[in-house]
Structure 1
Amino acid sequence: MEEFPQTLDYTGSDDENGDSTTTLLRRQMMYMPEDDGDDGGIDTPECMNYKLHKADGDQTLHSCVQLVDEHLGAKYRRASRTMYGNRLPWKANKLAEMKSAGLVYVCYWGNDAQGERALGAFASFMLTEETGLVEGDTAHEQSVPVIYLYEVHVARAHRGRGLGRRLLAKALCEGVAARVRRTCDDLFGVALTVFGDNTRARRLYESLGLQRAPGSPAPIAAPLPRVTRRGLGGGRAAAVARDPLYYVYCLRLA
């Protein structure tokens, strides 16, 4: 996955004296083998095989979950039972999901304020088949190959530098997609799931050309009680659209 740069860097200013500083995050990749009997054929200094390096892999996943918690923990706590259909803590469900066969992790590591190694950003994705992406397929009847983005997160200390956009636009939507198309002529494009009320993420995806998929949950029309001078009254109620729990977004690549 050389489409993802070996380093992510940006220049900022020191809060104490205003001097220019450069922050550097270094890439580490990890692959989840397809099944217990498959080593995936991947295990290099640049991309470790989770099955062969489980202790290191679990540490990486723990750091990834902590970064998810930093951004979306409150949302997952509210929605976990609906999303996963059980009463387990959301982090337990998320960790199980993160071990899905075929996932590729691209992590960028730097140092925190205390000089300790810390995860600065990561993305995870896989090549899979999905329905509900082709125009008109609202009934989820047509399956197409797609690069499905599971996660993309940037630590709070590194936000506002365009790192998420760089990972998505150049590396994933252009670079990885071009590589996959060499062996998958009918690749549809890129797809992802996003919380309905995560407007910041939705704006980013839309700015990159992603749109709500035909089979995505749609906004829900919620009636509002009619208000009169005497307070709540009867009669015809106005309707306002509210976001569903999540949307599915996709980008068809020519």
Structure 2
Amino acid sequence: MSALKRMRESRRTALARAVTEEQAIAAAIKKSDADFVKSYLGVSCQDWRSWKNAQTGVEYILDLISSVDLREADFQTCFDLIDETSGKAYHESVAGWHPEVKKEEMRSPELRYILVKQKDDPAGQVLGYTSLMPTFEDGRPVIYCYEIHLREALRGTGLGRRMMELLSTIAQNIPTIEKVMLTCFLSNEAGMAFYRRIGFQVDESSPKERKLRTKVVKPDFAIMSRRTSS
């Protein structure tokens, strides 16, 4: 095969792959919550909705719900959890803290939430959550973890690991998905250590230090990723 033919074949292959990736992401986004769970969680995690705190014996329920169907009270609790757990890091960051911008991001229609509530709690209070989106990052199909936040009493219990495992399961079950990705403030040393323990590494797309004439500009966040096993 000539070099020209190889180049054309390579382009056709790349185009076909791009079309397949676009279709897979679009299909995942269009699914109802019930179909999303059935397609990407139900087969691998039949008991994914149940979690028991081994330290206290308290049982919790996890629910997946699209941003457009999130109750206003639950939305506000999710927002308050960001301020509670990461507000200081946001305020000290270069980008700063912009509540309305964050709320607009949280309402992105492609975003889905996995909410944590105590079983049999009549108030149904959200005690933690993660939010995720099938999307493209640097042209590659990924599951992006937008947020993961837990009340203080649930940190260090294994629940955070469980929630990230669910994201990995979703990523493995959506055709063409290559990674789970997230952003973490470098000042969040506990968070960075947690992500590394569960197999995340600083992604090649993460911003690097930039040397200017009079100073070195250091990023205040890292983009991290973990490849799927499929």
TM over 0.5: yes
SS at 1:244's partner residue? Answer: coil
Equivalences for residues 210-249 of structure 1 within 5 A: 210-219=200-209, 244-249=219-224
| Code of the aligned partner of 1:189 | K
Shift of 1:208: 1.7
Runs of 5+ unmatched residues, structure 1? 13-20, 33-49, 84-88, 132-142, 223-238
The answer to whether the aligner puts 1:172 opposite 2:167 as a matched pair is yes
Partner of 1:189: 179
What residue identity is the alignment partner of 2:57?
T
**Aligned mate of 1:67, from 78, 81, 96:** 81
2:158 aligned residue:
162
Instruction: Look up the match of 2:48.
Output: 5
Look up the equivalent residue of 1:27 and give its one-letter code.
L
SS at match of 1:69: helix
CA distance in 2, matches of 1:105, 1:218: 30
Q: Shift of residue 171 of structure 1? A: 1.4
State which structure, 1 or 2, has the greater radius of gyration over its C-alpha atoms. Answer: 1
Q: Which moved more, 1:67-76 or 1:212-221?
A: 212-221
AA at the equivalent of 1:214? E
If the length of structure 1 is used for normalisation, what is the TM-score?
A: 0.64
Return the offset for 1:214: 1.2
Match of 1:27 in 2: 62
CA 1:28–1:253: 2 relative to 1, 3 Å:
closer
Q: Secondary structure at the match of 1:11?
A: coil
CA distance in 2 between counterparts of 1:97 and 1:158 reads 25
Are 1:252 and 2:214 matched, yes or no? no
Instruction: Say which structure is richer in helix.
Output: 2
For 2:221 and 2:137, how far apart are their aligned partners in 1?
A: 16
- 3-state SS of the aligned residue for 2:78? helix
Contact 1:68 1:153 (8 Å CA) reproduced: yes
**Do the aligned partners of 2:172 and 2:228 also contact (CA within 8 Å) in 1?**
no
- Matching of residues 10-159 of structure 1 within 5 Å: 10-12=53-55, 21-32=56-67, 50=68, 53=69, 57-79=71-93, 82=95, 90-110=98-118, 117-131=124-138, 143-159=139-155
8 Å contact from structure 1 (residues 119, 155) kept in 2: no
Cα distance in 2, alignment partners of residues 73 and 125 from structure 1: 20
Distance 2:115 2:170 in 1: 15
Displacement after TM superposition at 1:117 (Å): 3.9
1:209-247 deviation per Cα after TM superposition (whole angstroms, max 9, x unaligned): 21111121124679xxxxxxxxxxxxxxxx9x9952211
Name the % identity. Answer: 25
The structure with the largest strand share of the pair is: 1
Query: Contact 1:7/1:108 (CA < 8 Å) preserved in 2?
Result: no
Helix, strand or coil: the match of 1:82? coil
The TM-score normalised by the length of structure 2 is: 0.70
CA distance in 2, matches of 1:196, 1:73: 14
> Contact conserved, 1:30 with 1:57, CA < 8 A, in 2?
no
Q: Which has the higher contact order (CA 8 A, sep 6+)?
A: 2
Report the Cα offset of residue 24 of structure 1: 1.6
Give CA deviations for 1:144-188 in whole Å, capped at 9, x if unaligned: 1011010111111212211101111x3121x212221xxx2x322
In 2: Cα distance, 1:99 partner to 1:217 partner: 26
Q: Secondary structure of 2:100's match? A: helix
